[in-house]
Amino acid sequence: MSIPLPHAEFQWDHYDSKVNPVNGHVECTYRTLTCSWSAPRFVESPFLQVHGLAPGLNYGQQAFEGLLAHRTARNRILIFRPASHSSRFRHSASVVSMPPVPESLFLACVHMAVARNAEFVPPHNFAGNMYIRPLEFGSSAQIGLDVPDEFTFCVFVQPHVPLHGHTPLRALVAEEFDRAATRGTGNCKVGGNYGPVLKWSKDAKKPENGGWSALLHVDSKTQSYVDEFSAAALIGVKSPDQESTQVPILTVAHSEAAIHSITAESVVTIAQSFGWTVERRLVKLEELSSFSEVFAVGTAATIRPCSLIYHRSTGKHFTFTSDGPYYQRLWKTLSGIQKGEIEDIFQWCQDLRFEEFGERGHNGQPTADPTRVIEMPE
């Protein structure tokens, strides 16, 4: 079987991100009694059947991921670093007391979701991709705070059009709200880290409040170290002439209260391949003035330049070159690898396993056995 071409009637330039036009999603179920996962099943609907007393709805027992698929010029579909996202997803699940999804099952569900919706991966020459959203939550009915009888793992996909492109970010330091506690859940990808931010980011975006496009969060204990942007890591670059060095210095703002950014890790690896000096460490807020370029780095944003960070209580404006040479080189390299335009020397991309997970497998037979279960150790 060949991978389908992009949907001929889909209006890529007029896409509404709140509408999901795809064919369906993938689900599988974990039974606590048997410590096993069911085989993946494709559901031709965007909706889940969930009991109203499910811990995922009532107690926030859920975790999610986000990763990307791109179409190449030769109509291959590449999924970017799915094994790394699987590892982070297992960490997030463990933090909120859920069974980890085995990497093999995670990859199978991701490939199936993309394969069954392959026509919704944007054309190669379009500035977009397919966003992949794995999700796990406690799904059995219960009031008590104990281990659920059942967990659901599912994978949704949606065409993703960059909302901002290369438009520079203008960020406000969040001073009235702590996104994560020092020893809390900030280093895992759970909904409780994001829902509370919406009120504050909405207020910051209002023209009368400055029209800020993002919030930058700092540590809750001292309010002096950078954690991350609301949905992206912070990376700063110092030019050689600033530090009297031969090469640029790229610094990733590290915090135990922020998630491990796979995109930031990718940028670090690329920078090291250029021969740049790389640091992963705590970054004081006041140190922002020493960077010539700053980026917001994440799955959806990929790499987005930042032109200004404002600290309202001190009146400090940290300004940066918004479309500088370091940003351009890093973005072109990362984007080129993701789209199959540059050799993937780091072996990050997986070719879509379409023969295995498309609508029909070899000899025209369905690929999934709905009776098969995947055993998990107790």
- Confidence class for position 182, pLDDT limits 50, 70, 90: confident
Q: How far is CA 364 from the centre of its chain?
A: 35
pLDDT at site 371: 37
Of residues 184 and 365, more confidence is placed in 184
1 is a domain residue: no
**Are residues 293 and 360 located together in one domain of the fold?**
no
Contacts of 174 (CB under 8 A, 6+ apart): 200, 204, 215, 216, 217, 218
Residue pLDDT, tens place only, 317-346: 999 999 999 999 999 999 999 999 999 999
97 is a domain residue: yes
How far, in Å, are 194, 236, 239 from residue 205 at the CA level?
A: 16, 23, 31
111 is a domain residue: yes
Q: Which residues pair with 321 in a beta bridge?
A: none
CA distance 347 to 256: 28
- Examine the pLDDT at 375 and tell me if it is beyond 60: no
21 is a domain residue: yes
Mean pLDDT of 211-233: 96
> In terms of residue numbers, what domain contains 371?
12-164+344-375
pLDDT at site 163: 60
**Are residues 151 and 225 located together in one domain of the fold?**
no
Q: Position of tokens 């207020």?
A: 203
pLDDT at site 39: 97
Pairing of strands 316-319, 302-311: antiparallel
329 is a domain residue: no
**Are residues 98 and 115 located together in one domain of the fold?**
yes
Residue pLDDT, tens place only, 70-104: 999 999 999 999 999 999 999 999 999 999 999 99
CA distance 65 to 222: 29
- Confidence class for position 164, pLDDT limits 50, 70, 90: low
Q: What 3-state DSSP class applies to 56?
A: helix
Q: Which amino acid is at 26?
A: V
pLDDT at site 147: 94
**Are residues 16 and 53 located together in one domain of the fold?**
yes
**Are residues 225 and 131 located together in one domain of the fold?**
no
Residue pLDDT, tens place only, 238-295: 998 876 678 999 999 999 999 999 999 999 999 999 999 999 999 999 999 999 999 9
Annotated binding-site residues for pyridoxal 5'-phosphate read: 88, 228
- Examine the pLDDT at 366 and tell me if it is beyond 80: no
pLDDT at site 263: 98
CA distance 74 to 111: 19
pLDDT at site 367: 43
- Examine the pLDDT at 361 and tell me if it is beyond 70: no
- Examine the pLDDT at 4 and tell me if it is beyond 80: yes
**Are residues 131 and 62 located together in one domain of the fold?**
yes
CATH number, domain containing residue 146: 3.30.470.10
Other CB atoms within 10 Å distance of the CB of residue 184: 16
**Are residues 25 and 143 located together in one domain of the fold?**
yes
331 is a domain residue: no
Annotated binding-site residues read: 88, 228
330 is a domain residue: no
How many domains is the chain built from? Answer: 2
pLDDT at site 19: 79
**Are residues 50 and 118 located together in one domain of the fold?**
yes
**Are residues 147 and 242 located together in one domain of the fold?**
no
**Are residues 221 and 297 located together in one domain of the fold?**
yes
* Mean per-residue pLDDT over the chain, rounded: 92
**Are residues 178 and 160 located together in one domain of the fold?**
no
pLDDT at site 170: 97
Q: Which residues pair with 43 in a beta bridge?
A: 25
Q: What 3-state DSSP class applies to 337?
A: helix
Percent of the chain with pLDDT over 70: 94
- Confidence class for position 228, pLDDT limits 50, 70, 90: very high
Of residues 19 and 80, more confidence is placed in 80
pLDDT at site 364: 33
CA distance 32 to 37: 9
pLDDT at site 16: 77
CATH number, domain containing residue 223: 3.20.10.10
333 is a domain residue: no
pLDDT at site 309: 98
Pairing of strands 214-218, 169-173: parallel
CA distance 228 to 222: 15
- Confidence class for position 1, pLDDT limits 50, 70, 90: confident
Whether pTM exceeds 0.85: yes
Residue pLDDT, tens place only, 40-69: 999 999 999 999 999 999 999 999 999 999
